[in-house]
């Protein structure tokens, strides 16, 4: 039933499933589409297409895999008047995202001190489950974090003013309202500010191993053999609880608004409804928490570099959200229109000239950061006009998991994993042994293949490839 | 069948299949299953008790709320539950006592963050002798 359009695009026609109101589209090559068809991804893309008031297509990026309600790697845009907002369409880890920092060092400069640097980062940045942050802020101060995001962190001395321009939405999404963030969410969040978390979240020291677009890379502040740092983290328990709270409220709301969904995890309400508006204001508050979180970890990373290497200058290349819903202007049926774009495991990929980009990036386009898995490469890409035309300015967000945690753990021992990482000259520190094996490199899809599809389809272009040299896992 | 739980595989996350002679036992086992994903439960002592009362629109929502409540005790109040006793359970109401202690980083061997409890493929099946429920967690 999938209709292949070209080597990278597959349409799910409306006839595929009863109730589909728009088409679905999956970005994948022939090999990946076979993998994607093995799980529920296609069904989930079709399920999303049944939600009221969506425009364009229900999309799945090439890193797509089965999620809850929406697939991971899913993108969908809703009409602000007729459409719905779905907490499941953003996911539990609101504004889980990545931030890339460019250092002044080349690989050879730091080799001798790499272990010491990793140990220092491990001491300075709290990671792992249950870990408390280094500053226990008062709950009323937390409201300022939710309102101001990364800007709050910079005001507190965690960073400098110029950091802000290199964060999506300048690190502070407007219209946040802490009033709609429950006390439970605040309880889960206030002691976790500035913590990495566990699971697939990480901080990696990487080296730029290849450059594909010299001009763009230079403009992003990247060159071959340079040491960079990639931080992957989100809104921690605060964001998880916001999603949980509104999934619950939306279960009740659907009864009131007469909406029925094929999967309860797709719970949604009209954007204009009271619950819809409250969710959106709570969700952006959680997103701002995540921006502040990554900003604080950036500060401690700089301090660790300063202490061990004598130079803590690390410039933010960019910081992107993976899980978010945002009002943006896009062309729909030939007309410019404001829509609410849900991205769940997808990255904004705006092209050059877009007014949302800071002036210094406007001649090149938005950096799109694609983390791989521990032991494999990551990529920096740049957004394109093509993405604006067909994916609401979106691209993929990572490798995408290919193997369950249990299988990953059963297939490899920690010793085997460490041997493999040693053979690649990658240092690793993790909070737990089992956590490391669950994140082994081949538990993920081949990130290079994912990036080739994105590049081939033209929804982002390759700029640079990064290889890990030291990995810190929660 | 003896009450118990098994951890289920999922491409990105984890699930729990919990069994009990009664629905209440299956709920208790699901809670044990979730805590076993978060940490080594054998490192937790029963020093303190929490009483909880929950209300929901239906039994599936009640199961999600039950596990979410336990997650909140751990993540929001730093209280680590290690044993669960459900006093009353209907389709829409639950009363339970939960034993455990305050989280201590140096004592409790923590493993993974559980982000949330989902409705994904959630099922509650009654047979003649037992109840089996399945619930997936976002990791």
Give yes or no for A38 touching B (CB within 8 A): no
Identify the pLDDT of residue A321: 97
A67 vs B contacts (CB less than 8 Å): 12
pLDDT class of A290 with cuts at 50, 70, 90:
very high
Identify the pLDDT of residue A198: 85
**Average confidence (pLDDT) over A17-39:** 94
pLDDT of A356 over the 90 cut: yes
CB nearest B110 (choices: A91, A128, A191): A128
- Chain A from 244 to 273: CB within 8 A of any B CB: 244, 247-248, 251-252, 255, 263-265, 267
Pick from A228, A205, A202: nearest CA to A436: A202
pLDDT digits (tens, 9 = 90+) for B48-99: 999 999 999 999 999 999 999 999 999 999 999 999 999 999 999 999 999 9
Query: Residue B113 and residue A198: Cβ atoms within 8 Å?
Result: yes
Whole-number Å distance between alpha carbons of B97 and B85: 5
pLDDT of A409 over the 90 cut: no
Give yes or no for B127 touching A (CB within 8 A): no
pLDDT digits (tens, 9 = 90+) for B10-44: 777 899 999 999 999 999 999 999 999 999 999 99
Pick from B113, B68, B18, B77: nearest CA to A432: B113
Rounded to the nearest integer, the mean pLDDT of chain A is 95
pLDDT class of A319 with cuts at 50, 70, 90:
very high
Q: Report whether B136 contacts B15 (CB < 8 A).
A: yes
**Average confidence (pLDDT) over A420-449:** 89
Query: Residue A129 and residue B38: Cβ atoms within 8 Å?
Result: yes
Percent of the residues in chain A that have a pLDDT greater than 90, as a whole number: 84
Whole-number Å distance between alpha carbons of B125 and B60: 11
Please give the DSSP secondary-structure letter assigned to residue A360.
G
pLDDT digits (tens, 9 = 90+) for A69-85: 999 999 999 999 999 99
Please give the DSSP secondary-structure letter assigned to residue A71.
P
Whole-number Å distance between alpha carbons of A72 and A87: 14
**Average confidence (pLDDT) over A51-75:** 95
Q: Are strands A427-430 and A315-321 parallel, antiparallel or unpaired?
A: unpaired
* Residues facing A167 on adjacent strands: A319
pLDDT class of A6 with cuts at 50, 70, 90:
very high
B14 vs A contacts (CB less than 8 Å): 404-406
Query: Residue B11 and residue A263: Cβ atoms within 8 Å?
Result: no
CA distance A127 to chain B (A): 11
Whole-number Å distance between alpha carbons of A376 and A444: 10
This complex has an ipTM of 0.92
Query: Residue B12 and residue A407: Cβ atoms within 8 Å?
Result: no
Pick from A402, A472, A469: nearest CA to A441: A402
pLDDT of A384 over the 80 cut: yes
Q: Report whether A84 contacts A50 (CB < 8 A).
A: no
Kindly list the distances between the CA atom of residue A226 and the CA atoms of A204, A451, B20, in Å, as whole numbers in the listed order: 14, 21, 57
pLDDT of A403 over the 90 cut: no
Task: Quickly tell me which residue has 């403009």 as its tokens.
Answer: A219
CA distance A119 to chain B (A): 19
pLDDT class of A275 with cuts at 50, 70, 90:
very high
Query: Residue A65 and residue B12: Cβ atoms within 8 Å?
Result: yes
Q: Per residue, what are the HEC states of chain B?
A: CCCEEEEEECCCCEEEEEEECCHHHHHHHHHHHHHHHHECHHHCCCCEEEEEEEECCCHHHHHHHHHHHHHHHHHHHCEEEEEEEEEEECCCEEEEEEEEEECCCCCCCECCCCCEECCCCCEEEECCCCEEEEEEEEC
**Average confidence (pLDDT) over A352-380:** 95
Whole-number Å distance between alpha carbons of A36 and A26: 9
Give yes or no for B54 touching A (CB within 8 A): no
Identify the pLDDT of residue B101: 97
pLDDT of A256 over the 90 cut: yes
pLDDT class of A404 with cuts at 50, 70, 90:
confident
Identify the pLDDT of residue B102: 96
Give yes or no for B106 touching A (CB within 8 A): no
């Amino acid at each position: 039933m999938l209709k292949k359009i070209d080597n990278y695009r597959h349409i799910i026609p409306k006839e595929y499933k009863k109730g589909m109101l728009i088409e679905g589209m999956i970005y994948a090559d022939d090999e990946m589409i076979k993998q994607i068809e093995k799980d529920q991804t296609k069904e989930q893309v079709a399920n999303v297409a049944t939600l009221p008031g969506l425009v364009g297509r229900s999309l799945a990026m090439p890193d797509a895999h089965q999620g809850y309600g929406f697939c991971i790697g899913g993108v969908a845009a809703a009409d602000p008047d007729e459409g719905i907002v779905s907490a499941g369409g953003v996911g539990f880890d609101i504004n889980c995202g990545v931030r890339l920092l460019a250092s002044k060092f080349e690989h050879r400069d730091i080799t001798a001190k790499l272990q010491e640097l990793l140990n220092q980062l491990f001491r300075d940045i709290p990671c792992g489950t249950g870990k408390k942050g280094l500053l226990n802020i008062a709950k009323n101060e937390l409201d300022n974090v939710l309102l101001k995001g990364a800007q709050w962190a910079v005001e507190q001395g965690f960073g400098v003013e110029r950091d802000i321009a290199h964060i999506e939405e300048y690190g502070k999404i407007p219209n946040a309202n802490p009033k709609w963030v429950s006390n439970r969410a605040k309880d889960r969040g206030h002691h976790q500010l500035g913590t990495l978390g566990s699971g697939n979240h990480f901080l990696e020291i990487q080296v730029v191993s290849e450059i594909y677009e010299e001009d763009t890379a230079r403009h992003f502040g990247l060159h071959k053999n340079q040491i960079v740092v990639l931080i992957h983290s989100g809104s921690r328990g605060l964001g998880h609880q916001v999603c949980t709270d509104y999934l619950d409220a939306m279960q009740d709301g659907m009864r009131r608004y007469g909406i029925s969904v094929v999967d309860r995890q797709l719970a949604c309400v009209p954007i204009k409804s009271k619950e819809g508006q409250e969710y959106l204001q709570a969700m952006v508050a959680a997103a701002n928490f995540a921006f502040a979180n990554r900003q604080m970890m950036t500060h401690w990373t700089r301090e660790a570099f300063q202490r061990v290497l004598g130079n803590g200058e690390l410039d933010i290349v960019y910081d992107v959200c993976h899980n978010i819903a945002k009002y943006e202007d896009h062309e729909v049926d030939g007309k410019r229109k404001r829509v609410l774009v849900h991205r769940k495991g997808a990255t904004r990929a705006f092209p050059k000239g877009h007014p949302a980009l800071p002036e210094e990036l406007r001649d090149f386009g938005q950096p799109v950061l694609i983390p791989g898995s521990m032991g494999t490469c990551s990529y920096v890409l740049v957004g394109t006009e093509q993405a604006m035309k067909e994916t609401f300015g979106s691209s993929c967000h990572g490798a995408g998991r290919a193997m369950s945690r249990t299988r990953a753990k059963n297939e490899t021992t920690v010793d085997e994993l460490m041997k493999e990482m040693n053979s690649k000259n990658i240092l690793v520190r993790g909070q737990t042994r089992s956590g490391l094996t669950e994140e082994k490199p081949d538990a993920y899809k081949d990130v290079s293949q994912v990036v080739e599809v994105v590049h081939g389809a033209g929804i982002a272009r390759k700029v640079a490839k990064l290889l890990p040299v030291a990995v810190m896992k929660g | 069948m003896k009450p118990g739980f098994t951890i289920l595989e999922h491409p990105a996350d984890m699930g729990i299949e919990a069994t009990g002679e009664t629905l209440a036992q299956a709920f208790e086992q699901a809670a044990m299953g979730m805590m076993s994903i978060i940490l080594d439960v054998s490192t937790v002592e029963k020093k303190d008790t929490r009483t909880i009362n929950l209300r929901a629109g239906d039994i599936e929502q009640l199961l999600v709320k039950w596990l979410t409540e336990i997650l909140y005790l751990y993540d929001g109040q730093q209280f680590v539950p290690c044993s669960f006793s459900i006093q009353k359970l209907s389709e829409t109401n639950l009363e339970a006592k939960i034993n455990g202690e305050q989280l201590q980083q140096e004592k409790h061997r923590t493993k993974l963050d559980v982000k949330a409890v989902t409705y994904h493929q959630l099922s509650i099946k009654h047979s003649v002798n037992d109840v089996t429920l399945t619930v997936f967690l976002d990791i």
